[in-house]
């Protein structure tokens, strides 16, 4: 059983996506969420179930553009959760633990053209294809998402678990933790990882900016990049295989980068105990302290 303490900041608001398509907005959510695809040009509420007793009453509203908002009741600032055999339980103010089934359940269908924004303090979510997806999630959250046609933005406030099929652009702030897997990033990655965060991607194309601290770890199994900038500190680790025509790396603290020979090193700055290995051999080129 793994327990997490979730900060209140998981219920903060979202910046605008900047797109004019219909928006599905989920705020202050604790519970189970499913967003399924439809072929209609509208967002449809399939089912909404409030939580048991005082464990969550939802409000649902629509706007003149066809957008839908689902808002949960603000939960207590002090929340704990645990997963036992994959099943989530949650308590407030050190009270009784309640299974996830006691909290709200929402099922919504939406066309792929929808912009989806989710603020989830705790719970389980499944998300269908979307044009744009923006998530702010706490450490009690487990999210499975399909493909994002345009931009995926993720901000974590704890060690959430997220799996995603792919995105054109991925902008990730996991400075407060999180275990993230994105199978394919097709154009650009901007990632900031801290604490014990983990990011894995099977395929990355285009450009990348990476900033790591703490004991964070990034594994990029196959990259085809025009350029990449990576700045690591603490005991962070970056592992990358493939090709990059312009790689700039700054490795401080006791951080370490492991790259394949296809990564062209345009600039390397090693500080303190920072290390760079190319095909398993420690790099000792110009600029090595």
Query: What confidence tens digit (pLDDT) does each residue in 150-161 have?
Result: 999 999 998 899
Query: Which pLDDT score is estimated for 20?
Result: 64
Is the pLDDT reported for residue 105 higher than 50? yes
Q: What tens digit of pLDDT does each residue of 165-196 get? A: 999 999 999 999 999 999 999 999 999 999 99
Which residues face 201 on adjacent strands? 182, 220
* Total residue count of the chain as it appears in this document: 289
Which range marks the domain in which residue 179 is found?
A: 22-46+60-71+111-282
In this structure, what DSSP letter does residue 50 have?
P
Considering the domain boundaries, does residue 154 fall inside one? yes
Give the pLDDT score at 9.
38
What pLDDT, on a 0 to 100 scale, did the predictor assign at position 33?
98
Q: Which residue has the higher pLDDT, 134 or 40?
A: 134
The answer to the question of residue 163 being in a domain is yes
Confidence class for position 86, pLDDT limits 50, 70, 90: confident
Residue 96 lies in a domain: no
Average pLDDT estimate for 128-137 = 97
pLDDT computed for residue 78 by the predictor? 83
Residue 11 corresponds to which tokens in the numbers above? Answer: 């219920």
Q: Residue 216's pLDDT band (boundaries 50, 70, 90)?
A: very high
pLDDT (0 to 100) of residue 13? 45
Assess whether pLDDT exceeds 90 at residue 4: no
Q: Predicted confidence band at 2 (pLDDT cuts at 50, 70, 90)?
A: very low
**Residue 245 placed within a domain:** yes
Given a cut of 70, is residue 56 above it in pLDDT?
A: yes
Residue 116 falls inside a structural domain? yes
Residue 55 lies in a domain: no
Selected residue with higher pLDDT from 77 and 108: 108
Q: What is the mean pLDDT of the chain?
A: 90
**Residue 80 falls within a domain, yes or no?**
no
Task: Give percent above pLDDT 70 in the chain.
Answer: 91
The mean pLDDT of 250-263, rounded to a whole number, is 97
Supply the pLDDT for residue 189.
Answer: 99
Name residue, tokens 């066809």.
66
**139 to each of 2, 106, 253, how far by Cα in Å?**
11, 20, 27
Number of domain units in the chain: 1
pTM, two decimal places: 0.90
Q: To which residue do tokens 């790396």 refer?
A: 249
Query: In the predicted model, is pLDDT for residue 35 greater than 50?
Result: yes
Q: Which range has highest mean pLDDT (42-56, 62-76, 218-232)?
A: 218-232
Q: 65 lies in a domain?
A: yes
Q: For residue 73, is pLDDT > 80?
A: no
Going from the C-alpha of 273 to that of each of 49, 218, 247, 253, 289, the distances in angstroms are 54, 19, 20, 6, 9
Q: Is the pLDDT of residue 219 over 70?
A: yes
Quick check: 24 and 115 in contact, CB under 8 A? yes
Name beta bridge partners: 123. 31, 141
């Amino acid at each position: 059983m793994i327990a997490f303490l979730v900060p209140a900041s998981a219920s903060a608001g979202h910046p605008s996506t900047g797109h004019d398509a219909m928006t599905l907005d989920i705020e202050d959510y604790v519970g189970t969420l499913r967003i399924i695809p439809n072929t209609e040009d509208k967002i449809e509420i399939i089912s909404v179930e409030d939580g048991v007793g005082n464990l969550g009453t939802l409000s649902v509203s629509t706007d003149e553009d066809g957008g839908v908002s689902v808002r949960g009741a603000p939960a207590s600032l002090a929340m704990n959760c645990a997963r036992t055999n994959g099943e989530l339980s949650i308590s407030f103010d050190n009270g009784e633990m309640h299974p996830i089934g006691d909290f709200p359940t929402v099922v919504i269908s939406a066309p792929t053209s929808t912009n989806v924004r989710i603020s989830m303090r705790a719970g389980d979510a499944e998300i269908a294809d979307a044009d744009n997806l923006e998530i702010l999630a706490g450490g009690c959250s487990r999210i499975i998402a399909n493909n994002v046609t345009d931009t995926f933005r993720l901000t974590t406030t704890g060690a959430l678990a997220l799996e995603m099929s792919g995105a054109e652009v991925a902008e990730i702030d996991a400075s407060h933790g999180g275990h993230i897997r994105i199978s394919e990033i097709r154009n650009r990655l901007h990632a900031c990882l801290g604490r014990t965060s983990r990011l894995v991607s099977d395929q990355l194309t285009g450009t990348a900016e990476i900033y790591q601290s703490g004991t964070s770890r990034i594994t990029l199994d196959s990259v085809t990049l025009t350029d990449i900038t990576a700045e690591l500190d603490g005991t962070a680790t970056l592992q990358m295989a493939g090709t990059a025509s312009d790689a700039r790396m700054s490795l401080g603290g006791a951080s370490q980068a492991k790259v394949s020979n296809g990564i062209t090193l345009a600039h390397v700055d090693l500080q303190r105990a920072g290390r760079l290995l190319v095909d398993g051999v420690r790099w000792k080129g110009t600029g090595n302290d």
